[in-house]
A and B are shown apart, each in its own frame.
Chain A
């Protein structure tokens, strides 16, 4: 349900600076922190927009009118679902940031067998938890115009996507899997060592950061639309990695991805 190119981009000639709000749903707040971690670029970015609401950094209330809504976090309550609909109605452009908002991310892991889970944590589920629903991505609730993927987002990726959201861009978003990045980085393939790596089926764009640092990909950018799961399962078996490990590992960031339903 995403439209990566955005339908109603704002133009540089707009009289007033675009009004931006930042909202956080179920998340670790890490992606909002990564916005503040843009550091020397932060003031430049904020200088281009009229930041109307950012609960993390300021005590102003959510305004009635704004142009761009930036959403972090997964939708895990009916209240959050309503907030997302409100943000969609009021915003001209909606940007989902981080794995939680774009794929339901780690909170999405709880979607399997959700009905049992609250009672596994709480003896009596507090009313403050709200009306809990199985976790889902923002794009499962409303149309999303732009996405910043990864867990957490890369600060400069955010700056770049926000630029596109503010000024418009028809730049195509890569959908390929990660393996080509490792070839270019000349990093050793984990499958050669008999280890699972989700780069095989995960959307590229992070430069294979984890693999470069000696750790297999956990799939935080979500399943690539180009991924060939059947072939990936065969590849696993070929390298002595049980295909069931691939399926289980994919639950970490793709639990709610409809493309995976029925693959198990």
Chain B
């Protein structure tokens, strides 16, 4: 009997701590495990009894990269409980925050985490010498995401200004216009980045599971809809039903809970590729052209195309942010101000829902009459993706084994697959 065990401890260039274990016996893939060993910080326990206004602040700390998304999702849940309808201006600012985190996340993931795989480098740093222009432009794109989050949220990680009912601070019209100009200036490089990631060769594999994305009539929504859709099952549901439609389950080898479609029992993927499949026709013009040129069209099931979908979303986010910033700079372009609206605290339960950079994010929160948390359940994109990732890792390993690939090549390809999923393991184990 020949037995090959692949074990990657502490997989590098992903956010958080995880190991991969693959056992191949006599040409058959026996075991495939995504071993998430990120320390459990127990957020759902620690927010119990905390007052509502502390909760988004605490939840933000689930994840550095997706902090804006955690804050906005929490605010949406709390506002739904209190019956607050934020103004259009507040909603526009929240979109900017979420897009800012898309730019940060996608640029960091694509260039710092994923690109070295395809360039044959251990990290992004050698790129500073081999292709300084690419290195600098990639960092500049990430810096632009940071700047957007800083201008709107007060800093690049863990926004300060976004509170229940609105924002405690806004920048001047002139600063919005400067941001818009920077978005315009970044477009050319972002468009080339789509081609760059398309040019990297990737194995011909397909995701076996379903896909989940936020959907909205006539839009490519990130924080403006409450509807989620399983694309294969063609099942659409309101965010408040997430706990019913999605089944979380635990496995011994992961500190992150896994998830599957409750009705079909299938694993599923959520993230840029699912969004692109769900709302492709509502991408902005530039992003749509870039996507079409790169061959990204629905239905696209190759998990490695998630990289391309993220690159397309950068182009899309730049255009949308430029337009939003120009509109915010005009007086009276939005009805209502962004300053926090008055509200009354009341008891209730609701689920907030956004598309975080890595996919659908749900915060289910129950508050008592004093606005203190009675129950909280947080479902992060990566927790949802782990089961799908394991399924696809197995399929990839089987394909490579049958192609007669060497052990080291199998290991590298599996690591590349993990990184294409862009897991946020610190989010997944909150």
- Interface residues of chain A, those whose CB is within 8 Å of chain B, are 24-34, 36-37, 39, 42-43, 46, 51, 54-60, 73-74, 76-77, 80, 105-107, 109-110, 116-118, 120-124, 126-130, 132, 135, 151-152, 209-210, 213-215, 218, 249, 252
- Interface residues of chain B, those whose CB is within 8 Å of chain A, are 10, 12-13, 15-17, 35-37, 39-42, 44-46, 48, 54, 57-58, 60-65, 67, 108, 112, 122-125, 128, 139, 142-143, 146, 154-158, 160-161, 163, 168-169, 250-255, 257, 415, 426
Given A28-B64, A121-B42, A130-B37, A209 and B155 touching (CB < 8 A)? Answer: yes
CA distance A120 to B40 in the complex (A): 12
Given A37-B146, A128-B253, A252-B54, A57 and B139 touching (CB < 8 A)? Answer: no
CA distance A119 to B253 in the complex (A): 17
When distances are taken between beta carbons in the complex, the residues of chain B under 8 Å from A215 are 154, 160-161, 163, 168-169
If A117-B46, A121-B40 are given as contacts, then 14 extra A-B residue pairs at C-beta distance below 8 Å, sorted by A number, are A26-B41, A28-B60, A30-B157, A36-B142, A56-B13, A105-B61, A106-B41, A106-B61, A116-B45, A121-B45, A128-B252, A214-B161, A215-B169, A252-B54
Residue of B nearest to A60 (CB): B122
Given A34-B157, A210-B154, A55 and B64 touching (CB < 8 A)? Answer: no
CA distance A116 to B108 in the complex (A): 37
Residue of B nearest to A72 (CB): B64
Can you identify 12 A-B contacts, CB atoms within 8 angstroms?
A24-B17, A30-B61, A30-B64, A54-B123, A56-B13, A57-B123, A60-B12, A106-B58, A121-B40, A124-B252, A210-B160, A215-B163
Residue of B nearest to A255 (CB): B46
Nearest chain B CB to A106's CB is how many angstroms away?
Answer: 4
When distances are taken between beta carbons in the complex, the residues of chain B under 8 Å from A128 are 35-37, 252-255
Identify the 9 closest CB pairs spanning chains A and B, nearest first. Answer: A30-B64, A214-B168, A59-B12, A58-B123, A26-B39, A120-B45, A30-B157, A106-B61, A117-B45
When distances are taken between beta carbons in the complex, the residues of chain B under 8 Å from A126 are 250-255
Given A58-B125, A110-B45, A213 and B169 touching (CB < 8 A)? Answer: yes
Given A33-B64, A126-B252, A209-B160, A58 and B35 touching (CB < 8 A)? Answer: no
Cβ contact within 8 Å between A118 and B157? no
CA distance A117 to B37 in the complex (A): 18
Please tell me which one of the listed residues B62, B122, B156 contacts residue A37 in the complex, with CB atoms under 8 A apart. B156
When distances are taken between beta carbons in the complex, the residues of chain A under 8 Å from B128 are 43
When distances are taken between beta carbons in the complex, the residues of chain B under 8 Å from A213 are 154, 160-161, 168-169
Residue of B nearest to A111 (CB): B46
Residue from B42, B122, B156 having most chain A Cβ neighbours under 10 A: B42
Please tell me which one of the listed residues A37, A110, A218 contacts residue B41 in the complex, with CB atoms under 8 A apart. A110
Cβ contact within 8 Å between A28 and B13? no
CA distance A110 to B168 in the complex (A): 29
CA distance A58 to B252 in the complex (A): 28
Nearest chain B CB to A104's CB is how many angstroms away?
Answer: 11
Residue of B nearest to A155 (CB): B156
Nearest chain B CB to A148's CB is how many angstroms away?
Answer: 14
When distances are taken between beta carbons in the complex, the residues of chain A under 8 Å from B142 are 36-37, 39
Given A33-B65, A215-B163, A110 and B39 touching (CB < 8 A)? Answer: no
Nearest chain A CB to B192's CB is how many angstroms away?
Answer: 20
Nearest chain B CB to A187's CB is how many angstroms away?
Answer: 11
Nearest chain A CB to B55's CB is how many angstroms away?
Answer: 11
CA distance A174 to B139 in the complex (A): 33
When distances are taken between beta carbons in the complex, the residues of chain B under 8 Å from A132 are 39-40
CA distance A254 to B65 in the complex (A): 24
When distances are taken between beta carbons in the complex, the residues of chain B under 8 Å from A77 are 39
CA distance A107 to B13 in the complex (A): 23
Nearest chain B CB to A182's CB is how many angstroms away?
Answer: 15
CA distance A215 to B160 in the complex (A): 7
CA distance A124 to B143 in the complex (A): 42
Given A58-B122, A110-B45, A118-B42, A124 and B64 touching (CB < 8 A)? Answer: no
CA distance A106 to B55 in the complex (A): 11
CA distance A39 to B250 in the complex (A): 39
When distances are taken between beta carbons in the complex, the residues of chain A under 8 Å from B41 are 26, 74, 76, 106-107, 110, 135
Cβ contact within 8 Å between A58 and B13? yes
When distances are taken between beta carbons in the complex, the residues of chain B under 8 Å from A210 are 154, 160
Nearest chain A CB to B182's CB is how many angstroms away?
Answer: 14
Please tell me which one of the listed residues B15, B60, B250 contacts residue A122 in the complex, with CB atoms under 8 A apart. B250
CA distance A126 to B157 in the complex (A): 30
When distances are taken between beta carbons in the complex, the residues of chain A under 8 Å from B255 are 126, 128-130
Residue of A nearest to B11 (CB): A59
CA distance A77 to B45 in the complex (A): 17
